[in-house]
Structure 1
Amino acid sequence: MAAGPSPTGGEIHGHDHDHDDGRPSDIVLRVRALESLLIEKGYVDPTALDVIVETYETKIGPRNGAGVVARSWLDPTYREWLLEDATAAIRSLGYAGRQGEHMVAVENTAAVHNMIVCTLCSCYPLPVLGLPPVWYKSAPYRSRAVIDPRGVLADFGVSLPPATKIRVWDSTAEIRYLVVPMRPAGTEGFSEERLASLVTRDSMIGTGLALDPRSLAAEAS
């Protein structure tokens, strides 16, 4: 898919996909078959399995990416390296592996908001974001993210100023993306660990924003 304007005024940056046609891979089919067998024999509680998967999708998996983002917020030199050569910068923190060999980091600003999709299947940067969420692999997200990115963001509770451009990046077998969300206001003096706690999986896909520490403090009180 060639780069160009979207019908909604956003920008689409894509690449030709040369991997699969959206059908499950042999590995995925084997995992599904094994899962069904274990559930059928009573070895696995499907509810507990769902909880484990959700934990890896939203908490354990994205910790690596959150650490990368937090480091870029604190260290201008690392941020510049990340934007120039994300693969090497991410690998320097120990996060590398299959489906993370060729990474590109795109930075959100007040003028530009980036969002990631894989229009043909579910290419996803596993080493930094863990398991892809179910909605990322769904046909509605894959199609609407391209034709109606603002509508998709609204579904996720994100409302951007009309002047903010939206760039949609199409992941492929060759290139996967990491969104660097904007650093929340009021985080001056925060440690790297504390900053990382504000970075969510969705903010690194572009369907969300980094958490506002003031809102978290209000909820805790």
Structure 2
Amino acid sequence: MAHDDHDHDHAHPHDHPHDHDAHSELGEMDLRVRALESVLAEKGYIDPAALDVLIDTYQTKIGPRNGARVVARAWVDPGFHDWLQRDATAAIASLGFTGRQGEHMVAVFNDDSQHHMVVCTLCSCYPWPVLGLPPTWYKSAPYRSRAVRDPRGVLAEFGVQLPPGKAIRVWDSTAELRYLVVPQRPAGTEGWSEEQLAELVTRDSMIGTGLPRQPGAAPCAT
């Protein structure tokens, strides 16, 4: 089973501005999807209400909450941390988070010397059971290409400034393997409960395009 990963120790020049929002091609795709949904609903092949419930489940109930619980457990439980390193699929499943798009998981751990970042260069493979629906920018062509060529520049555009000597490793998701980044636990959280820690874990920090919230920071969507 082949997959690529890339090591980057320094920044490369920007090729094109990186837009985290939908591009024109994605807007066109959204229109096509909506048109297809309308046709399928008219023919009775799908139930729009059921589809709305499914989408809401992944966006608001699963979202990044499952992944945040996995990360928080790894932060407080050394045994679970080691299990997550050895067999992420089984460790994540033990918390009840399993299903399609998450059958084969690998957890990669940020530390003082290395930062991990996830992309899917061929399409948009993403661990739905732990992170919910992929954000629009994750599926965009600019992110998929530039994350490999210029990861430090892409991170800067997300507001993430890493120390100059910190290496960046980019993991390319495939249909066979999907990755979960385990960010570093924020300082000043000694004695915090697992539930409190989970509130600091953002979706972007588990993709590698962000960092966990710091204690006292206002909640945010990602």
When the two structures are aligned, how many residues end up with a matched partner? Answer: 192
Show the 5 A alignment for 1:34-73.
34-36=36-38, 56-57=58-59, 60-73=62-75
Q: Who is 2:104 aligned against?
A: 102
Opposite residue 68 of structure 1, the aligned amino acid is V
Rounded Cα–Cα distance in structure 1 between residues aligned with 2:150 and 2:125: 20
Q: CA deviation at 1:214?
A: 3.2
CA gap 1:2/1:130 in 2 versus in 1, 3 angstroms: closer
Q: Who is 1:202 aligned against?
A: 204
Aligned partner of residue 71 in structure 2, secondary structure: helix
Contact 1:67 1:193 in 2 (8 A): yes
Rounded Cα–Cα distance in structure 1 between residues aligned with 2:32 and 2:150: 35
CA gap 1:86/1:57 in 2 versus in 1, 3 angstroms: same
Aligned partner of residue 195 in structure 1, secondary structure: helix
Contact 2:6 2:169 in 1 (8 A): no
Could you tell me the TM-score, scaled by structure 1's length?
0.77
Consecutive unaligned residues of structure 1, counting only runs of 5 or more, are 11-27, 41-48
Q: Who is 1:114 aligned against?
A: 116
Rounded Cα–Cα distance in structure 2 between residues aligned with 1:149 and 1:54: 31
Contact 2:202 2:213 in 1 (8 A): yes
RMSD: 3.2
Contact 2:115 2:208 in 1 (8 A): yes
Aligned-residue identity in percent: 71
Rounded Cα–Cα distance in structure 1 between residues aligned with 2:212 and 2:61: 14
Q: Who is 2:174 aligned against?
A: 172
Aligned partner of residue 214 in structure 1, secondary structure: coil
Rounded Cα–Cα distance in structure 1 between residues aligned with 2:7 and 2:110: 18
Query: Which sits farther off after the overlay, 1-10 or 97-106?
Result: 1-10
Consecutive unaligned residues of structure 2, counting only runs of 5 or more, are 13-29, 43-50
CA gap 1:54/1:139 in 2 versus in 1, 3 angstroms: farther
Rounded Cα–Cα distance in structure 1 between residues aligned with 2:7 and 2:69: 32
Contact 1:8 1:147 in 2 (8 A): no
Q: CA deviation at 1:32?
A: 3.5
Rounded Cα–Cα distance in structure 1 between residues aligned with 2:62 and 2:101: 17
